[in-house]
Structure 1
Amino acid sequence: MVEISAESVIGPIQRLVATAQNGLEVIRFGGLETGATGTPFDVVERKPMYRLRRYFPTEELGSRPPVVLVPPMMISAEVYDVTTDAGAVGILHKAGIDPWVVDFGSPATEEGGWERTLADHVVAVSDVVDDVRRHTGRDVHLGGYSQGGMFCYQAGAYRHSKNLASIIAFGSPVDAVAGMPLGLPANIAAKGAEFLADHVFNRLAVTDQMARTGFQLLDPIKTVKARWDFVRQLHDREALLPREQQRRFLMTDGWVPWSGPAVAELLKQFVVHNRMMSGGFVVRDQLITLADLTCPILAFVGEVDDIGQPASVRGIRRAAARAEVFEATLRAGHFGLVVGGTAERQTWPGVAAWALWREGLGPKPDIVHEMSADIDPEAPASVGSVGSRFAHTAATVAEVGAGVGREIVGFASNAFRGTLELSSEAARALPRLSRLGQIQPHTRISLGGLLAEQGRRAPLGECFLFDDRVHTNAAVNTRIDNVVRGLIQVGLRPAAHVGVLMETRPSALVTIAALSRLGAVAILLPPGSDLARAAELTGIDTVVADPDNVKSAAATGLKVLVLGGGENRGLDVEVGGNVVDLEQIDPGAVRIPAWYKPNPGLARELGFVLLSGSGAAMEAKPVTNHRWALSAFGTATSADLDRNDTVYCLAPLHHSSGLLVSLGGAVAGGSRIALSRSLDPSQFADEVHRYGVTVVTYTWTMMREILDAEEFPLGRDHPVRLFIGSGMPVGLWQRTTDRFKPARVLEFYASIEGDVVLANVSGNKMGCKGRSVPGTAHVELAAYDAVAGRFLEDDEGFVRKCVDDEVGLLLGRATSGVEIPHGGMRGVFMQGDSWVPTENLFRRDADGDYWLVDNKHTVVKAPRGPVYTQPIVDQLDEIGEVDLAVAYGVESGNTQYAVAAVTVRAGADLPIEVVSEALRGLPSNDRPDLVHIVDEIPVSSTFRPSARELRTAGLPKPGPTTWCYDGHDGAYKELTEEVASRLFPAESAG
């Protein structure tokens, strides 16, 4: 018989009774009564967005360094006082810190809470800094957990670090691409975030229950384990009480709802567009970049943090390139960074020590070290990521095959990600190409029409940026419509030809779009050009000018309409008579006539006229709406532009690159357009970061001005991914890609004649113009005698097509159903075909890529045959010491000589041997007769190097920096007086 002791019976019964009693208390009150009381605080400020708490209010104001703690939107302010004595505020106070906490309250109970935006929170945090500074007289250490840390970064940038002693962030993501929760590929997460922002959170808020559940689902295994441990120890009250406040906070008490607009804005700006990294996020119409942060930063990194993954948190080092950035790495998860044993032992003592060190009151904390500048954004996610935890759990259960499983998962993940990236690019490109294919001569398409489409699709979307302000699609379209009313009021009608004389500014963009919406034709006049000749050539009688150009416009005697200039317009002519101020016309008082139909422009109709040259050589280049759309959609496709991009328009709008590539590509791609007042290197660096510029447009040597600046403040961590434009010299191309790695150059060639658009999409062959952009005109090279200026025919009388590497004239197939423009040709390669010749000579390599060799009018007609100028320039440009190069023909007697001129970069020396070696890359007959160093090569207003003055000056004078080609040994030698008299007898006779 087994003897049963009293203890063996009583013990389980007591345990059962204790479990029942504690369980009943949990059911009735939500948890166990701990007897703990909160830390005392005063509410120092009460404002609609927040209440500012000061803990331990009996301490003298200003006697201690103030640390302000900001919670994320979904967690209550009590996160910093969860465990009273072991919480943040208590530990900081004991260490000699003055703790303050921001309480945003709950949107469910605050007036207007459900309408709160992300910007409201950022501005509130900035206001808090002013409040604490006013109360304490000291600069503030601003700290935030998770999204609260993001608020701190954003507010710091918003106020340019004013009155901030430092910023401290705990598990705060910065680079959304580097580490997404759940290990999701960034592009998939961005697509999902965009859908939620546009279709869910614009109608729905996030309740506290949803926030809590979502947080727990990020680590379901830990959540289940914590609940099981709680139930398993429910009989042991003493064991549960130390962690009961933390458990109740996480399970019930600590969560607050989010307002829908704030969530949507968060997803759009920082997940879809990743603007914490790129810059260009918007706070109250003001553009912000973390590059403006200059105060010291301390980022706490959780090694097993699934939400603020280490790679994402460390993005602050690249985003805030001008700040000292430190980190403290802890073996903790997301919540464990601020609550629990690790936080009690390391986080909050570390924060206190940091603040004292920055104030000069103590040594540098042991856990703090400088964050490395060599962080690899492509590094794998942390070992504590959700995916790796699942893998670890599976391995623990199975105890076999984990290594193989990881290999398979990694391979599948990379392949899946690559497939998705390709398909997403195709998904963006196909609709554009399809739309291009659908454009017929009678199709209604125009700049004004595309901007109206964009406004209907996303009225609150950001259209363009200027002077640190953002202008929405709705606001821009309203402004365009108001200008249209003003144009109607002064008597303009569809098809009218109207000059536009403006610098690159919002009013210029709006004017061009308003003329398009009216159905008129914008004649784009370059400022400083010969306006009288332009008026004579184009037949205009009206010019729209900005205040900077109104005086020169009025001097022509034409009717002048003044637009733009802001509040301080500084008009220096009297308004009246031939000068009308459009800004004084009330749009609401204008009667809209019955004939007005917005955006009537058809593809076949003229949309713009560009001007090139000057004086008698000035030419008008007509651009139809179809031609503009072709370049616009072709650029958007080739550059893969979308709503994530901000296109920085350095090219002037009166230039083909500005109108067709910058403006056109951005509008067709739905990208933001950033306009700059001028080309200034320091301004360029500031605006690239502040606007979050991803694509920079250029013309010719424009980037030289930026790269040559003595102090160029743009760090290696920049958001630019692409430079697009035309005419960049190969040497400058190399310098640009070296300086802006990993950005690349996308060089375009777009003829005004016909519909030819070439693009070097890969960027691998510097100097190459690439291939035809899909949807644009098919091109062919026609055999051409550059000396005689005529096509070469085959035995049947058709023009012969060039073989690979043969120089020929570039032709574009004429658009079907459209009347061939002036200069077009029929029956070129076969009966009935239609082609439009360009003015440029190309060669096509064996890969099918096209290389520009010359304009047919500038080929040097030397006795040995044609000498093409562009290959000479390309070879010289590859010399590191060469700054600019031009090649041109000079006639002496009855002979034309090929001459090249170069300028040398500051501080460099150009040996003759280097020139000889570089030009050996050309066949001997294609090399210039003379090469000389000059002090300056003029560049035009569009930064195109010009040889006109050098050509007019004739052959260069003999001397040590003028070299002539010696055909006997294939090298260049100094041109002496003796050699010059022998080589150029006509010059000597003269």
Structure 2
Amino acid sequence: MASSSGRVGAGDAGQGQEKSGSEAVKFNARSVVGPIERLVATAQNGLEVIRFGGLVHEIESSPYEVVERKRMYRLRHYFPDDTVADRPVVVLVPPIMVTAEIWDVNGADGAVGILHEGGIDCWVVDFGSPATEEGGWDRDLADHVLAVSSAIDTVNEITGRGVHLMGYSQGGMFAYQTAAYRNGKGVESIVTFGSPVDAVAGMPFGLPHGLVSDAADFLTDHVLNRLPITDSMVRLGFQALDPVKTARARIDFLRQLHNREALLPKERQRRFLEADGWLGYPGPALTDLLQQFVKHNRMMLGGFVIRDQLISLAEITCPILAFVGEVDDIGQPAAVRGIVRAAPNAEVYEACIVAGHFGLVSGSTATRQTWPVVRDWVNYLSGRADLPTQVERMSTEVVRNGPRTGLTRAVHALGSLAEAGTSLGKTIEGVAGQTLRGTVELTGEAARALPRLTRLGMIQPHTRISLGRLLSEQARRGPQRELFLFDDRVHTQEAVNQRIDNVVRGLISVGVRPATRVGVVMETRPSALAAVAALSRLGAVAVLLAPGSELSKVADLTGTRLLLTDPENLASAAATGHRVLVLGGGDARGLDIPAGADVVDLEQIDPAKVALPAWYRPNPGLARELAYILVTGTGDKFDVKYVTNHRWALSAFGTASAADLGRHDTVYCLAPLHHSSGLLVSLGGAVAGGSRIALARSLDPARFAEEVHRYGVTVVTYTWTMMRDILDADTFPNGHPHPIRLFIGSGMPRGLWRRTLERFEPARVLEFYASIEGDVVLANVSGTKVGSKGRPVPGTAKVELIAYDPLTDEIQVEDTGFARRCADNEVGLLIGTVSDLVDVSAGGLRGVFAPGDSWMPTENLFRRDADGDYWLMDRRDTVIPTPRGPVYTQPVVDALNDITAVDMEVAFGLPTRDRVLAVAAVSVRSGFTLAPKDVTEAVRVLPADQRPDIVYVVDDIPRSRTYRPSTRAVQAAGRSEPDDNTWWYNRTTENYEVLTPDLAARLFA
């Protein structure tokens, strides 16, 4: 038994050993064969990749035919054999640097495949490669926009339907721009994927906008005009934007190279990203992108240019759906969401997807989420489906890094780091980016202001400085940069400079020489700007006259014997009897020349045939020399102001510095050029700041609303009550998006100032005060104290307030005989130091605070508060001399203008038999009523002795040509009999009460 048992045991053991040996052999065979098979598969697949650039796959392209071939594009029609009628139509637009195959990378699971399956007719714009197309490297942005527009026309005509215009990345930008260019014609809706609009809100990878803006200047000035951006450079550039992801994708591909089945579904997409999908980028198109939409952010602000035509996304009125990639580092969510503010007249929706830039349109996420939503969106607008649940209205609130996006990005980033086994670089990059962004924003304004203030401080009497000279300098630096906008057209520095030179030749041909006084009587138009600049370049003196003014009197007053006018003002200019030059309106217009008038049509002079005399030197004007004469007033009270080149430069550079004007700004000039605000602030500040100038023909609220968006206006210049007309017209409802950041001007009443801030939030008001004679310039830069004129602008005159008696018109002195400086909040005369450029003999003061010192008094009285801010109180000649002492008119009108119901107001002295009463007249806004208690409450901010004796309501207060309420007109109209709208100030009760006839008789006796 034992032996048997042993044999059995031995036999079992032997069988077990035999089995174990067999398994070992098999195991060893598998352990050897498996790696060999894997190695062979890897080698075979690798050889196939080397030979053919990738694995041979079975994913077929969707069928299409080329319906139209033009220089800029080919128009593809996908699934052309599908003849189902009455289908919605989409036109898909790729970005410049990606081929049109982006819409078909995944075959049936791609864009055109899914949309076609959903019953949608698909058309694709194919720009082709600039390397193979004739003139491809010379294409600019406008070429692409016009190509998309042409393709839409073709599809509209063939299908008889409007299109749903769709674009990826820059293709989406083209979709927005094309729809705006066409004013929406033929476009049913717009769908974009990761298409940035607001460059400032979100630059790729969180880079500071200021840093990228400076880089854009360097690239456009030194790189793009010399070096073509080839497809390989584009590919390497995009891969370098995310090297970790690129490396990880390549490692994953190599690790799975043996597993053909796993790689084949992704092979077409891999080859697209690695090689086949990229195109070169024409330098002119990239220059446009960097300058218009990166540096100047004109997608957001408006005012971008397509073939000299100004465009704004505010023109878009069709529905918009923007796909937002929550982890998209190129089309940052904040930048993409800028469309809701840039297109205020459209219904804007969004669909958020956890995807990167490429994943929005290609790959498994796009297959599962993006394209089904697009399909349902199109069918919803066609009345064939409900609004997709993933689509929601886009909020107008600016969210740069919301909690959801931040959390999603963190999870996405951690996953990426885990897969790649790296790195803290992204986190450090983000922190550094935020820090650098803040630094650039804080120092940018100072960096722009310093050169201007330095140049201003270097101006000496013999320095050559003038409007003509600054325009010449800018034309040399950037001949193709945009200078001014008018009637929806853009004029470049080079074109304007050439026009100015031509006008100079015309002026020389008719005998105009340096220092000649030439009256300019022109409406606001390009020729008016050219005329003023040409006179500056010639060294002549421009006498700026308001059209319709009393030209004969003003010409005699200013010593003007030659008038330069436009066709509209020819008759009134010729009526003066002086020689008249006509400019503007084109050379094809017919002039109605009065009989016997001495008229020369400058447009008929060929500048090429004018020989320049030996004495001519362009831009000879010295700082000390007279450049302009401004005339205000009417009748027997004209006010003539003489402006030297230095005084013009002072306002120009001072405005540019205080308002931080730069090439990113478009300055909208509401004031006419013959007004100091138009000449010194608008034109001067824009030229000194290198900004675009938008000229308004007139104050038209409806046109203002349109042009603000179309021109991309960031700064509006005004004078006095101009903003009242715009606010009353309600063309900008409260909260309506707009690009304006600043209003600059002078004379805005305090209540109107508040209304402007409320209506155009978050824009600010920058109120100036400037003396024409002398160098005093004040500016309320912070804008926090509504009504204040602020503080002296750096580089301008040092100012002081000296004690002054307005009743005797005498400066009050100390025991030493020197003028007494005013204490805080004491009313005094504002004076400024005098430079070597000012003639003190023309009304200046010497020995004010020290022997031999020189000061120039202004015509205005101010008070200075404890913070050092200056507040205008009155003109020296309009202070009301009442028995209780002087009453200052400016605080009175400010207090009354703060009443919501008050439209305009004036204050003046009304002489009676034995005294002068302080009187205020007010007009009431339409739809409002004004009661005595409203006036009582408003004037409580004034000391009791400064409150007006009488306040009464008038139907209307006329305004001057500069929109200043006319006190003289109200006085001339006389005082009507007292009624319920005439109130007197009861100093016993401190209330305003109805003025009865009996009391009126006693007051006015």
Alignment TM-score, normalising by the size of structure 2: 0.95
For 1:617, the aligned partner's letter is K
Secondary structure at the counterpart of residue 980 of structure 2: strand
Per-residue deviation, 1:414 = 5.0
CA distance in 2 between counterparts of 1:813 and 1:126 reads 60
Per-residue deviation, 1:360 = 2.1
Per-residue deviation, 1:200 = 1.5
For 1:210, the aligned partner's letter is M
Of 949, 967, 970, which aligns to 2:990? 970
- What number of residue pairs does the alignment pair up? 982
Does structure 2 conserve the Cα–Cα contact (< 8 Å) formed by 1:175 and 1:277? yes
Per-residue deviation, 1:801 = 1.4
1:254 equivalent to 2:242? Answer no
CA distance in 2 between counterparts of 1:633 and 1:886 reads 33
Secondary structure at the counterpart of residue 5 of structure 1: helix
Does structure 2 conserve the Cα–Cα contact (< 8 Å) formed by 1:50 and 1:105? yes
Structure 2 equivalent of residue 283 of structure 1: 306
1:590 equivalent to 2:622? Answer no
1:850 equivalent to 2:870? Answer yes
Per-residue deviation, 1:220 = 2.2
1:925 equivalent to 2:945? Answer yes
CA distance in 1 between counterparts of 2:192 and 2:645 reads 51
Structure 2 equivalent of residue 778 of structure 1: 798
> Could you say if the C-alpha distance between residues 896 and 953 of structure 1 is closer, same or farther in structure 2, counting changes exceeding 3 Å?
farther
For 1:977, the aligned partner's letter is P
Structure whose alpha-carbon radius of gyration is higher: 2
> Could you say if the C-alpha distance between residues 392 and 873 of structure 1 is closer, same or farther in structure 2, counting changes exceeding 3 Å?
farther
CA distance in 2 between counterparts of 1:627 and 1:375 reads 42
Of 855, 860, 880, which aligns to 2:900? 880
Of 177, 187, 192, which aligns to 2:215? 192
Structure 1 equivalent of residue 825 of structure 2: 805
Deviation by residue 1:869-921 (Cα, 9 ceiling, x = unmatched): 00111111111121112111111124111001111111112221121121111
Of 143, 148, 157, which aligns to 1:120? 143
CA distance in 2 between counterparts of 1:176 and 1:525 reads 43
Per-residue deviation, 1:669 = 0.1
Equivalent residues in 2 for 1:373-772 (5 A)? Answer: 373-376=396-399, 382-383=405-406, 414-566=434-586, 569=589, 571-573=591-593, 577-712=597-732, 716-772=736-792
Structure 2 equivalent of residue 947 of structure 1: 967
Secondary structure at the counterpart of residue 152 of structure 1: helix
Per-residue deviation, 1:193 = 2.1
Per-residue deviation, 1:366 = 2.8
> Could you say if the C-alpha distance between residues 84 and 870 of structure 1 is closer, same or farther in structure 2, counting changes exceeding 3 Å?
same
Structure 2 equivalent of residue 91 of structure 1: 114
Does structure 2 conserve the Cα–Cα contact (< 8 Å) formed by 1:641 and 1:666? yes
Per-residue deviation, 1:575 = 8.8
Structure 1 equivalent of residue 357 of structure 2: 334
Structure 2 equivalent of residue 130 of structure 1: 153
Per-residue deviation, 1:197 = 2.1
Does structure 2 conserve the Cα–Cα contact (< 8 Å) formed by 1:728 and 1:747? yes
Does structure 1 conserve the Cα–Cα contact (< 8 Å) formed by 2:884 and 2:945? yes
For 2:108, the aligned partner's letter is D
Of 225, 228, 239, which aligns to 1:216? 239
Secondary structure at the counterpart of residue 618 of structure 1: strand
Deviation by residue 1:57-88 (Cα, 9 ceiling, x = unmatched): 22338642221111100000111111222121
Does structure 2 conserve the Cα–Cα contact (< 8 Å) formed by 1:518 and 1:598? yes
Secondary structure at the counterpart of residue 708 of structure 1: helix
Secondary structure at the counterpart of residue 643 of structure 1: coil
For 1:896, the aligned partner's letter is V
Secondary structure at the counterpart of residue 58 of structure 1: coil
Structure 1 equivalent of residue 12 of structure 2: none
Of 25, 32, 53, which aligns to 1:9? 32
Q: Which moved more, 1:893-902 or 1:454-463?
A: 893-902
> Could you say if the C-alpha distance between residues 401 and 971 of structure 1 is closer, same or farther in structure 2, counting changes exceeding 3 Å?
farther
Aligned-residue Cα RMSD (Å) equals 2.2
Q: Which moved more, 1:658-667 or 1:928-937?
A: 928-937
1:297 equivalent to 2:314? Answer no
Does structure 1 conserve the Cα–Cα contact (< 8 Å) formed by 2:195 and 2:331? yes
Deviation by residue 1:946-989 (Cα, 9 ceiling, x = unmatched): 1113223555632211111111122211111122223332xxxx
Structure 1 equivalent of residue 17 of structure 2: none
Equivalent residues in 2 for 1:27-42 (5 A)? Answer: 27-42=50-65
Deviation by residue 1:334-366 (Cα, 9 ceiling, x = unmatched): 111111112112222222222222122333233
Deviation by residue 1:475-495 (Cα, 9 ceiling, x = unmatched): 000000000011011111111
Does structure 2 conserve the Cα–Cα contact (< 8 Å) formed by 1:898 and 1:929? yes
Structure 2 equivalent of residue 988 of structure 1: none
CA distance in 2 between counterparts of 1:497 and 1:387 reads 70
Does structure 2 conserve the Cα–Cα contact (< 8 Å) formed by 1:179 and 1:381? no
Q: Which moved more, 1:930-939 or 1:274-283?
A: 930-939
> Could you say if the C-alpha distance between residues 36 and 79 of structure 1 is closer, same or farther in structure 2, counting changes exceeding 3 Å?
same
Does structure 2 conserve the Cα–Cα contact (< 8 Å) formed by 1:682 and 1:712? no
Deviation by residue 1:574-621 (Cα, 9 ceiling, x = unmatched): 598511111111111111111111000000000000001112211211
Unaligned runs of 5+ in 1: 986-990
CA distance in 2 between counterparts of 1:976 and 1:479 reads 65
Alignment TM-score, normalising by the size of structure 1: 0.96
For 2:971, the aligned partner's letter is R
Q: Which moved more, 1:915-924 or 1:278-287?
A: 915-924
For 2:857, the aligned partner's letter is P
Secondary structure at the counterpart of residue 613 of structure 1: strand
Per-residue deviation, 1:816 = 2.8
CA distance in 1 between counterparts of 2:327 and 2:756 reads 39
Unaligned runs of 5+ in 2: 1-20
Deviation by residue 1:611-660 (Cα, 9 ceiling, x = unmatched): 01112211211000000000000000000000000000001110111100
CA distance in 1 between counterparts of 2:406 and 2:731 reads 41
Of 290, 297, 320, which aligns to 1:274? 297
Structure 1 equivalent of residue 344 of structure 2: 321
CA distance in 2 between counterparts of 1:853 and 1:148 reads 57
For 2:626, the aligned partner's letter is L
Per-residue deviation, 1:532 = 1.1
> Could you say if the C-alpha distance between residues 767 and 347 of structure 1 is closer, same or farther in structure 2, counting changes exceeding 3 Å?
same
> Could you say if the C-alpha distance between residues 381 and 257 of structure 1 is closer, same or farther in structure 2, counting changes exceeding 3 Å?
farther
> Could you say if the C-alpha distance between residues 912 and 409 of structure 1 is closer, same or farther in structure 2, counting changes exceeding 3 Å?
farther
Deviation by residue 1:778-807 (Cα, 9 ceiling, x = unmatched): 111121100011111111222211111111
Per-residue deviation, 1:820 = 2.0
Does structure 2 conserve the Cα–Cα contact (< 8 Å) formed by 1:821 and 1:836? no
For 1:940, the aligned partner's letter is S
Per-residue deviation, 1:205 = 2.2
Does structure 2 conserve the Cα–Cα contact (< 8 Å) formed by 1:76 and 1:254? yes
Q: Which moved more, 1:893-902 or 1:120-129?
A: 893-902
**Identity over aligned pairs, percent:** 64
Per-residue deviation, 1:167 = 1.1
Structure 2 equivalent of residue 68 of structure 1: 91
